[in-house]
Chain A
Amino acid sequence: MTERKVRVLVAKPGLDGHDRGAKIVARALRDAGFEVIYTGLHQTPEQIVATAVQEDVDAIGLSVLSGAHNFLFTRVLELLREKGAGDIAVFGGGIIPQEDVQALKALGVKELFTPGTSTQDIIRFVRDNIRASV
């Protein structure tokens, strides 16, 4: 039996257009051997969750640099649970103050990466924490 590759959806929720980080992470994960889908910009939480379910991904990486992270991460987690897809891991990154990082992790976000993070750290996180569903 061959093991299926881990599938990651990299997504840009909300109106924020800062996609440098999201694209770098998408490419770094792809180069590290994961299967990566990038949503493109300006996605609603509903669109992201629909794509995640349809593409049967194992994890969603959200990138938010607009300050709207509390609303957007929380909404994605809620919608995943509503769709019975609460097993899809959610991680992310952006300009997110430490106290918000703690609060979002308490709500179920697996990991949040802030400015200065190496792509190696993100690859290591996915490798160690995300398993392909069977």
Chain B
Amino acid sequence: MAELSERAERERWEKETYGPFVDRTPERGLRFESLSGIPIRPLYAPADLEDWRYAEKLGYPGEFPFTRGPYPSMYRGRFWTMRMFAGFGRPEDTNARFKYLLAQGQTGLSAAFDMPALMGYDADHPRARGEVGKEGVSVSTLADFEILFRDIPLDRVTTSMTINCTASVALAMYLALADKQGVSWDRIGGTMQNDMLKEFIAQKEWISPPGSAVRIVVDTIEFCAQHVPRFNPVSISGYHIREAGATAVQELAFTLADGFGYVDACVTRGLDVDSFAPRLSFFFDIHNDFFEEIAKLRAARRIWATVMRDRFGARKAESMRLRTHTQTAGVSATAQQPLNNIARVAIQALAAVLGGAQSLHTNSYDEVLALPTEEAVTVALRTQQIIAEETGAPLTVDPLGGSYFLETLTDQMEAQAMAYIRKIDELGGIIRAIDEGYPQREIADAAYRSQLMDDRGEKIVVGVNKYVMPEEKPVSYLRLDEAIEREQVERVGRVKAARDAATVERRLKQLAGACQNGQNVMPVLVDAVKDYVSLGEISDVYRQVFGLYREPIIF
């Protein structure tokens, strides 16, 4: 009876108060909807949550279904990790930026690699021309890693590495470096992005087709579960899916579908779900639509927990608990009036915190123009520190929990994402869906729709299609010295010349053997990189054994 009266009460308000009011003072526009296209009502009230049960939908933080947070005390224990993504030029350039960020109070490292390293080419490869050190740090051999982490004890920091088709090589180099520093593998922590499924869907850095790419990912998951217990071997990433044009709902759905794809592959290999699932981690984009982004993180935790328990039979709470890194949306930044990006980033960062993120990168306002300057990175880091220290947002767990609007939105996003996940299951799983170009096509369509809305002014972008300023003051940005490429080419040449050719040959043969016979590649890789076998040489073995991936052309 009470429920009926709640609904009746709202209908009465709509009829008696709201309706007459907007007849006199009309609403601003015809369409009130979220960035994902979810229609937004003028008001949310108890009537929206009539069948909604607290224990089932939310529960308590640190307990199933983890909607309110993966940990019981959240930011009352410690703040999220402030992890600024950095990498450019030579390893010594990035090493200096790392040390600067640590001195500014950053609490974890995050390494960006250049395109040749990300695609499996050494600095001296013809395909690397013009790209060395441009989008990240140039790395070809362990010698570069030694400089990259010079004076940084690996048991005192955690390091996130954004690298995918060559993640196995970077992980091997990090482990080899730990050995050189005398730090045992059970004392190092960090995260490899290592999420190949989203590469085929969105970021598009690959060597071999999905089947063999996922096999190498499973090798790293299995190896870390056994030997590097504090390392997150995969960061299942929605960020790039969103940046490629997906809506928040699509980002949520495709990311979780990728996660289930890895769990499936590991279980198929014979691993016990509770032996590896606690170390799977996530990475979501935080865009402009404040409440939708908060709802997305909460829905992600609930879906992951439920599916891990009910479909994969996870028993440990840690296997059902979704932990996530977040980053403000690069695609939301504008080249016009770039200082406005500081405001966008601050609001997005607050959404990440209210959504219960474990770690956060805040973008620099100048990243839409070039690599960020030290000044711009500092403002971005300070933005996080202001949220942490000044706003009061971290004082209580899930402060928006129970909001009529937010809970309705969380439920709607969950339902829409589950519809996509069921569709992918019907297609035969995520790898089959990728082969058919299904997520790629969905994202390309959404990106095109969004661009047309921008072009027609249906979606306002401040400083771009509204509040435009004719004359803009140029901002200063970071420029890289063209000599960097030459220096890195010379360095890898020197390292390669100093090696014993027979040893290199033997290591590459061992690797090819492991790739062919299905043996875990990680032990072979660690030995190989210690002998300064290069990232490009290892990638050549992957190319030869597994073949090259060719994308379906969809536009």
Contacts and interface: CB of A to CB of B under 8 A. Distances in A.
Genuine A/B complex: yes
B447 to A, nearest CB: 5
B134 interface: yes
B555 A68 contact: no
A14 B464 contact: no
B553 A67 contact: no
Contacts of A24: 447-448, 451
Interface stretch (B39-47, B123-131, B406-414): B123-131
Interface string B440-460: 000010011001101100000
A72 interface: yes
A26 B119 CA distance: 25
Nearest to B447: A20
Nearest to B550: A40
Contacts of B480: 67
B420 interface: no
Counting chain A residues whose Cβ lies within 8 A of the other chain, the interface size class is: 35 or more
A19 B204 contact: yes
A14 B131 contact: yes
Contacts of A41: 204, 551
Contact of B118 (A15, A18, A97): A15
B553 A38 contact: yes
Interface residues of B, number: 45
A114 to B, nearest CB: 6
Contacts of B447: 20, 23-24
Contacts of B118: 15
Contact of A116 (B121, B128, B336, B479): B336
A20 B554 CA distance: 11
Nearest to A44: B127
Given A15-B115, A15-B119, A71 B129 contact: yes
A22 B331 CA distance: 15
A40 to B, nearest CB: 5
B525 to A, nearest CB: 22
A38 B370 contact: no
A66 B135 contact: yes
A2 interface: no
Interface string B385-408: 000000000000000000000000
Interface of A: 10, 14-20, 22-24, 26-28, 30, 38, 40-42, 44, 66-68, 70-72, 75, 95, 97-98, 114-116, 118-120
Given A23-B448, A67-B134, A119-B455, 7 more contacts: A15-B119, A20-B447, A40-B550, A71-B131, A95-B369, A95-B370, A116-B464
28 contacts: A15-B115, A15-B127, A16-B131, A16-B135, A17-B205, A19-B204, A20-B447, A24-B447, A28-B448, A38-B553, A40-B550, A40-B553, A42-B119, A44-B127, A67-B480, A68-B134, A71-B131, A75-B130, A97-B370, A97-B477, A114-B335, A115-B335, A116-B334, A116-B335, A116-B464, A118-B454, A119-B452, A120-B455
